[in-house]
Amino acid sequence: MSRLVFVCLLIFFIMQNMFSQTYTCVGTVVDMQTNKVLESAYIYVPEIHNGTISDENGNSTFRLKKGQYSFVVSYVGYKDSVFQRQLVSDTSYVFFMQPTGIELSKVVITKQHNVDPRTERMDKISLNRQDLSQIPSMMGEADIIRSFSVKGGVQKSEGVQGMNVRGGSQEQNLILLDNATVFNPSHLLGFFSVFPSEIITSADLYKSAAPIQYGGRMSSVLDIETQSAFTDSIEGAVNVGLLSSSFYTALRVSDNSALRFSYRKSYLDLIVMPSVEKIVTINEQTDMQFDFYDATLRYDYRINMNNLLTISWYSGEDAFTMKNNESLLFNVVDWGNTVFSARWKHISSDNVFQTLTASHSVYDFNFFAKQSVYSLAVSTGISKSSLAYVYKKTEDNYTYTLGVDVAYTQFNSGSISAFIDSSDISPFDSQLSQSAEMSLFASYTRKYSSRFSLEYGLRIVPYALLGPGKQYVYDRYDELTDSVVYTQNEIMYSHLGLEPRITATYLLSSKSSLKSALVRANQHIHMVSLLSAALPADIWLPASSLSPAQTGMQLSIGYVSKVKSEYSASISVYGKTMNNLVEFKDGFFTLYNQSLAGKITQGTGFSAGTELSFVKTEGVLQGGFSYVFSRSLRKFSQINDNYLYPASYDKPHNISLYASYEINSKLKLSALWVYSSGKVYSKPEFRYFIDKNLINEYGTINNSRMPAYHRLDLGLDYTFVNTKKHILRGNISIYNAYNRTNSYYVYYGIIGDVENFSITTTQDFVGLFPILPSCSLYFTF
């Protein structure tokens, strides 16, 4: 009897397992062209008469019994597809979707974004790969930072590296490439950013309140994500241009992993060097060369349906060489970034996303000059290692995020070695320092009604400057009175940063909304620039007792409206204060014989402005217009006698007008016109003779403005071949199409004969880039 019961139970048990066991199946919907995940795609499984929508990571989860299923996936702009799969265990699938625009011979209408600008985060600008092709590419290179600069609130000045966001300086932008910090995002006088556009999938710029896990800089966060490496088998593209060429390739390593590699190299002597040689007044015996390269590597591994591992690496360098045979002067300057990140993303079925990121970033700058027997080598640099954990839970009406980020940063604020022949005349020891910073953050976003939602958050950031090191003490006459020596890991200076923020969104109607953000920010890092212009001889410094942590507040209010589905308009107003900004006391610094100590001073910055923009995002004709009025002022007790003066990038008026027009499926035209107020400069009050030379005496700082800057760029794209497997596209672009000489530098000249007292003194504005036409060819496989 008992044996019968046992057998029945056994059969029953086996039958239960056979017929009622369910498995978890996670489907990820991906664009087969760009490998970008598609949010809000609809996946329907007819066998269970049920469907679901993919989340922001492109995922949707099903619990199904073992068996054969059809997954019907549909998404606006893509061909509806059915994927047949046999489910035998817990699995994850990737559903590759093909955009419908590809094979149609008639005009394509594609949406640029699926995000509603009304509910989009305040002060956020998002760009994806398609947006990059909207403005004319320069020399065949579409550029992320230049694309942001036409949207309003972001200034990209010609010939200057980095960007200025809402009146903040360049190092106040946290720039992330796959979550690793990039310290210098520019190549070659800021002409290009270091991010090759082919490998970027999306870029988000936050001008005020960024998501809570980002912080540490006062003005903005630029979060750039590269394309995932996942691909069907192998794919890639080659871009050959007049100025540089690049290629990338992605390979499938296994069912669950893939690798992507890219490389870009310039050969600038053809076009850019002649322009540079023209403005630098060195005689014809001088020979100059400039080059840069970028390389990236990315490995994606889907461990299982809930876990994804991504490893990203980037390395790039610029090198500038100058030789003058007559004076035996030889000069080499090189600088570059290397960044690395490893991210583990975990998704749970209860809408919890967790990310653990380890990253390491290095930037260094090296200068070497040799003239006859005298040689000088200067280097500066910064390196940062960090580990961050973020936990995010989303429900219908609320989302909360919390986590911790720990970072250790090492600074080289000036290492010099100088020699005459072989005798060492190095003036001082290397200025090395190190700091530790932890960020604890939490934010809570809640929808209080169908119209109103609020986000509040707090970051708590303890920071310490650690020994070994020497701290100098100065009296009020700037005389060195003491220097204190610290040992390994002894705390030299500490600061607790508190960063509360609150952002609110109110939907006024189905078409418009009002948003506001109030944010407090801290920055435990400073940067001062050694030279008056573009070579990135920058010194990164940690916050210390002589240069305390920067703090500031920003309030912004905005209104967004979608006029029709394809038009939207927005206006925002902002005001910012920034404390403990850092400058050189005397406005200059001669690194070769002085150390930094005692040469830096602190002050305050104020910035306010209004940003207006209109965009059209659908149709054959797309484009936008933005107008920004902004002022950025500084007040330093030891500069300009404590009077307010304009920051060097203060430009009250900025206008951008851009458009792209698809004449047919093969031909597209694009144009961009930008206007901005002239750059401020310090005009001398008068000149005077010392010996037989004329010396400038400068009055107040930045008291004059150069003539206004404006420029037209034009671009033409022609697609020769456009099939499932290959695209061949040619591009012609003209930078500065009407060849305006936009002032970049002021040159004070003397013509004549001093001894005969017959002299003409002049002030000329020198421009940087004249009309620059170029072409390039792009091919994918």
Partner 1 sequence: MIKIRISLFLILAVFQLCSCSDDFTNDSGTESRIIVDGYIEVGKKARVVLTQAIPVESQIDSTKYLDIVSTRANVRISDGEQSEYLYLRWNKNAFPQHYYESEKIRGEEGKTYDLEIMYYGDTLTAQTTIPEPVNVDSVWTIISEQDSSERDVWFRLCDNPQQKNYYRTFTRIISEQHEYVSTYLSSFDDNSFNGVCEEKPIYKGNENFYDKSRDFSFAVHDTVLLKLVSMDEDAYLFWKNYEKEVFNLGNPFASNGSNLISNISGGYGIWCGYNQSIHTIIIK
| Residues numbered 309-328 forming contacts with partner 1, rule: CB under 8 A | 324, 326-328
| Residues numbered 425-444 forming contacts with partner 1, rule: CB under 8 A | 425-427
| Residues numbered 493-512 forming contacts with partner 1, rule: CB under 8 A | 508-509, 512
Give yes or no for residue 480 binding partner 1 (CB under 8 A): no
**Contact in structure between 396 and 373 (CB atoms under 8 Å):** no
Choice between 4 and 690, CB closer to partner 1: 690
Region near partner 1 per CB under 8 A, out of 464-472, 516-524, 636-644, 722-730: 636-644
* Ordered alpha helix ranges (H), 125-212: 129-132, 144-149
Q: Report the amino acid identity of residue 309.
A: L
Interaction mask 340-379, partner 1, x per CB under 8 A? --------------------------------xxx-----
| Residues numbered 155-174 forming contacts with partner 1, rule: CB under 8 A | none
End-to-end CA distance of the chain: 71
Q: Determine the 3-state secondary structure of 47 from DSSP.
A: helix
Region near partner 1 per CB under 8 A, out of 147-155, 254-262, 404-412, 580-588: 580-588
Nearest to 469 by CA among 420, 497, 433: 433
**Burial category of 336 from C-beta neighbours within 10 Å (exposed 0-12, middle 13-18, buried 19 and up):** buried
The Cα–Cα gap between 426 and 447 comes to 62
Considering only 108, 571, 716, 727, the residue that binds partner 1 (CB under 8 A) is: 571
Between CA 734 and CA 739, with CA 735 as vertex, the angle to 5 degrees is 100
The Cα–Cα gap between 154 and 222 comes to 11
Choice between 165 and 342, CB closer to partner 1: 165
Q: Determine the 3-state secondary structure of 309 from DSSP.
A: strand
Considering only 30, 407, 466, 530, the residue that binds partner 1 (CB under 8 A) is: 530
The Cα–Cα gap between 310 and 330 comes to 43
Q: Give the total of residues touching partner 1 (CB under 8 A).
A: 95
The Cα–Cα gap between 207 and 468 comes to 36
Query: Which residues are paired to 558 by β-bridges?
Result: 515, 572
**Contact in structure between 169 and 161 (CB atoms under 8 Å):** no
Choice between 68 and 281, CB closer to partner 1: 281
Region near partner 1 per CB under 8 A, out of 163-171, 280-288, 409-417, 772-780: 280-288
**Contact in structure between 562 and 580 (CB atoms under 8 Å):** no
| Residues numbered 741-780 forming contacts with partner 1, rule: CB under 8 A | 744-745, 747-752, 754-763, 766
Per-residue HEC secondary structure of 397-431 comes to CEEEEEEEEEEEEEEEEEEEEEEECCEECCCCCCC
Considering only 641, 723, 738, 741, the residue that binds partner 1 (CB under 8 A) is: 641
Choice between 68 and 758, CB closer to partner 1: 758
**Contact in structure between 572 and 601 (CB atoms under 8 Å):** no
Minimum distance from CB of 753 to partner 1 (Å)?
9
Choice between 199 and 639, CB closer to partner 1: 639
Choice between 544 and 656, CB closer to partner 1: 656
Minimum distance from CB of 708 to partner 1 (Å)?
13
Give yes or no for residue 573 binding partner 1 (CB under 8 A): yes
Query: Which residues are paired to 384 by β-bridges?
Result: 361, 409
Residues 6+ apart with CB under 8 A from 604: 577, 578, 579, 580, 581, 634, 635, 636
Minimum distance from CB of 531 to partner 1 (Å)?
5
Minimum distance from CB of 740 to partner 1 (Å)?
19
The token pair that represents 322 in the structure block? 């100058």
Considering only 323, 520, 631, 666, the residue that binds partner 1 (CB under 8 A) is: 631
Region near partner 1 per CB under 8 A, out of 225-233, 421-429, 487-495, 546-554: 421-429
The Cα–Cα gap between 675 and 691 comes to 43
| Residues numbered 597-616 forming contacts with partner 1, rule: CB under 8 A | 608-610, 612
Report the 10 Å Cβ neighbour count for 679: 27
Between CA 72 and CA 76, with CA 73 as vertex, the angle to 5 degrees is 140
Q: Report the amino acid identity of residue 78.
A: Y
Minimum distance from CB of 546 to partner 1 (Å)?
21
Choice between 419 and 456, CB closer to partner 1: 419
Minimum distance from CB of 342 to partner 1 (Å)?
38
Choice between 91 and 375, CB closer to partner 1: 375
Minimum distance from CB of 210 to partner 1 (Å)?
24
Minimum distance from CB of 532 to partner 1 (Å)?
6
Minimum distance from CB of 534 to partner 1 (Å)?
7
Q: State the Cα torsion 349-355-356-359 to the nearest 10°.
A: 150
The token pair that represents 394 in the structure block? 């989303």
Choice between 254 and 590, CB closer to partner 1: 590
Choice between 584 and 779, CB closer to partner 1: 584
Minimum distance from CB of 682 to partner 1 (Å)?
6
Minimum distance from CB of 250 to partner 1 (Å)?
40
**Contact in structure between 258 and 226 (CB atoms under 8 Å):** no
Q: How many helices (H) and strands (E) does the chain have?
A: 4, 50
The Cα–Cα gap between 262 and 294 comes to 8
Choice between 260 and 515, CB closer to partner 1: 515
Minimum distance from CB of 689 to partner 1 (Å)?
5
Minimum distance from CB of 453 to partner 1 (Å)?
18
The token pair that represents 345 in the structure block? 């993303």
Considering only 263, 444, 456, 559, the residue that binds partner 1 (CB under 8 A) is: 559
DSSP class per residue in 363-387: EEEEEEEEETTEEEEEEEEEEEEEE
| Residues numbered 657-716 forming contacts with partner 1, rule: CB under 8 A | 682-700, 703, 705
Minimum distance from CB of 685 to partner 1 (Å)?
8
Minimum distance from CB of 450 to partner 1 (Å)?
17
CA 700 to chain centre: 34
Choice between 684 and 773, CB closer to partner 1: 684
Minimum distance from CB of 674 to partner 1 (Å)?
19
| Residues numbered 373-402 forming contacts with partner 1, rule: CB under 8 A | 373-374
Cα-based distances in Å from 84 to 37, 80, 498, 509: 20, 13, 53, 43
**H or E element that contains 148:** helix 144-149
Choice between 103 and 429, CB closer to partner 1: 429
Choice between 6 and 698, CB closer to partner 1: 698
Considering only 271, 358, 633, 659, the residue that binds partner 1 (CB under 8 A) is: 633
The Cα–Cα gap between 729 and 775 comes to 11
